[in-house]
Amino acid sequence: MRLAIIASVETMLKKWKGQVGKEIEVFHEFKLLTSEVISRTAFGSSYLEGEKIFEMLNKLSIVLSRNLSNTGIPLFVKLQKPSDMLEAEELAKGIQDSVSKIVKTREDKVVKGEADNFGIDFLGLLINAYHDTDENNKLSLEDLVDECKTFYFAGQDTVNSLLAWMVLLLASHGDWQEKARREVMEIFGNQYPNSEGLSKLKIVSKLSNPFSTLYIPGI
């Protein structure tokens, strides 16, 4: 999983290197990055299907937020649903059908002996809960889909905003940018990041703390 995340970041950085001197909308770039990383984390080998699901989730959030500002006439809504409501229902059904399809594929592989488990990714854990014999721990398919939605929205919004905020602060404070760069080079050099090294990143850890970054000069 770590190598998959590194590969996603490298692809983004390679793209940036080809745009030296040009303005880059980092918030949008980080949104694409976090979407891909979350897809890989949640769906593992099924991440391409996961990306399609998350794309539908993103569209659904836009439609729902649009509906918050619309106050339709109750009787009219009952007689004829607005186009946004119809689109939201269609997206919700598409998400449910897509997740169900991935779940069914993994179940079939286990039944046929092509796989020993449902997967070690986030979805695999949810499918295990879906098949749990203990009714207190068992998830319904609707619960499983809702967990995927929560994982996506909470994960993307939080990480995306944090990354964009860190880049803004580092761009505004060149001295801390240099300190962070020097620390990373001292610990990793030209090697890929690893869990042991990440725990040693004191300056970067402070920068990634949303509370300390509010007052970066005094970190």
Within a 10 A sphere around the Cβ of 187, how many other Cβ atoms? 18
Q: pTM (2 decimals)? A: 0.72
How much is the pLDDT for 77? 47
pLDDT band at 218 (very low <50, low <70, confident <90, very high): low
Average pLDDT over residues 2-12: 84
Angstrom distance (rounded) from CA 212 to CA 219:
7
**Domain spanning 2-12+23-172 has what CATH number?**
1.10.630.10
Q: Where do the domains of the chain lie?
A: 2-12+23-172, 173-219
For the chain, give the mean pLDDT.
Answer: 84
pLDDT tens column, 89-130: 899 999 999 989 999 999 999 999 998 999 888 899 999 999
How confident is the model over 57-94, as pLDDT tens digits?
Answer: 888 888 877 766 555 545 444 545 677 788 888 999 99
Q: What is the mean pLDDT of residues 11-27?
A: 89
Segment 165-177 mean pLDDT: 87
Percent of the chain exceeding pLDDT 90 equals 28
- pLDDT over 90 (residue 160): no
CA dihedral 144, 45, 48, 24 (to 10 degrees): 100
Q: Contact 101/95 with Cβ under 8 angstroms?
A: no
